[in-house]
Amino acid sequence: MYKIKMIPFNKPYLTGKETDYITDAVASGKISGNGKYTKMCQDYFENKFGFKKTLLTTSCTDALEMAAILINLKEGDEVIMPSYTFVSTATAFVLRGAKIVFADSLPNHPNMDCSSLEALITPKTKAIVPVHYAGVACDMDAIMELAKKHNLFVVEDAAQAIDSYYTGKDGVKRALGSIGHLAAFSFHETKNIISGEGGMLAINDEQFIERAEIIWEKGTNRSAFFRGEVDKYGWVDIGSSFLPSEIIAAFLWAQLENLEDIQQKRKSHWQEYKSQLEKWATANEIQLPLIPDYATNNGHMFYILCKNLEQRSQIINKLKEKNTHPVFHYISLHSSPYYIEKHDGRLLPNTDNFTDTLLRLPLFYELDTQTVINQILE
């Protein structure tokens, strides 16, 4: 019997140079981290996207944990973030003793509703953490104005937002992750640019640069020592082993060399979905992704918003019968087993709606998009 070829939700894309650069890193005798490939990657990000300083990390979670340390988060401080996000967005701050105050999503997009944020600010609020869902920008002007008014830090969770942009009221187009005081990126295998596991902290406020490097190097001033800035190095702050090995950085460099090609291909798949599914979506009361005028699409994710949980389950089952694997996304963090009793009890109806209705379609470099579209329309 002929078996239908499986179409997974995600398939990591290899450019062909990854193992060459890994071999080069190993041959160099320097594989522990902060070597040639780490510096090449960091320079690339700073030059291309305008971050003042970048530090590669072993994950986006680690980058967020570094951010929580850098803003001197203490027990009882409050951090505002969306409930519709990955658990790492919250745990990085919970580890420092913070209380998480969850904001609801917009009615038509999983990004948090900025108009609801000011009501959540108290004297204990320390930071706002916008998550750019699907690589689509939050309203950063509104968030930065609130932060300035209330003297808060802004940490962008840009895990999904590499090579995506925000155009502010001043008409200036800025890379996501370059607007808040700090930002965290992910290079997990499900992202556009990958290194298996991996991440990056972007630092846009100069007051954090020196200390970030110390935290990154286990709480020591080791990096400054190797640059000749101090005559010996020692333990000067808290920190951890946040930096990745050169093997991970070498893999990432092969990806960065092909960033434009990867992005073009992913955005092409995204556009195919959108143009060919519009009539079907309208006929079935399904919403396709919204890109606000101030935002760009980086081809990270194509999702649909079903009219209810039952319809979503039917579409999942229909595609799985054809060996294609769409997936839903987050369970609202405010209703999670760990946090439900800590949540303040506010209802977050838009967040809960996305938990029940959002469905992500397969999207990766080598995807045969037309096959998935045909299966949906059949």
Of 229, 256, 283, the position where a domain reaches its end is 256
44-82 pLDDT, tens digit per residue, is 999 999 999 999 999 999 999 999 999 999 999 999 999
Question: Residue 76: which domain range?
Answer: 18-256
Q: Is there a single domain that holds both residue 195 and residue 83?
A: yes
Long-range contacts made by residues 281-288, C-beta under 8 angstroms, separation at least 24? Answer: 284/311, 286/311, 287/108
Q: Is there a single domain that holds both residue 227 and residue 288?
A: no
Q: Is there a single domain that holds both residue 298 and residue 237?
A: no
Q: Is there a single domain that holds both residue 154 and residue 293?
A: no
H/E element, 336 = none
- Domain count along the chain: 2
Q: Is there a single domain that holds both residue 83 and residue 99?
A: yes
Tell me if 266 sits within 8 A of 299, measured CB to CB.
Answer: yes
Position 5 scores a pLDDT of: 86
Of 219, 240, 256, the position where a domain reaches its end is 256
Q: Is the pLDDT of residue 1 over 50?
A: no
The CATH number given to whatever domain includes residue 337 is 3.90.1150.10
Report d(CA 126, CA 99) in Å as an integer: 10
Q: Is the pLDDT of residue 159 over 50?
A: yes
Residue 2 falls inside a structural domain: no
Which residues are bridge partners to 217 per DSSP? 241
pLDDT band for position 126 (50/70/90)? very high
* Buried b / exposed e along 54-91 (16+ C-beta atoms within 10 A): bbbbbbbbbbbbbbbbbbebeeebbbbbbbbbbebbbb
205-253 pLDDT, tens digit per residue, is 999 999 999 999 999 887 766 666 766 678 999 999 999 999 999 999 9
CA 111 to chain centre: 12
Q: Is there a single domain that holds both residue 88 and residue 163?
A: yes
Q: Calculate the average pLDDT of the chain.
A: 96
Q: Is there a single domain that holds both residue 227 and residue 365?
A: no
Position 2 scores a pLDDT of: 45
Q: Is there a single domain that holds both residue 249 and residue 266?
A: no
285-330 pLDDT, tens digit per residue, is 999 999 999 999 999 999 999 999 999 999 999 999 999 999 999 8
Position 140 scores a pLDDT of: 98
Strand, coil or helix: 220: strand
Q: Is there a single domain that holds both residue 39 and residue 96?
A: yes
Residue 75 falls inside a structural domain: yes
The CATH number given to whatever domain includes residue 23 is 3.40.640.10
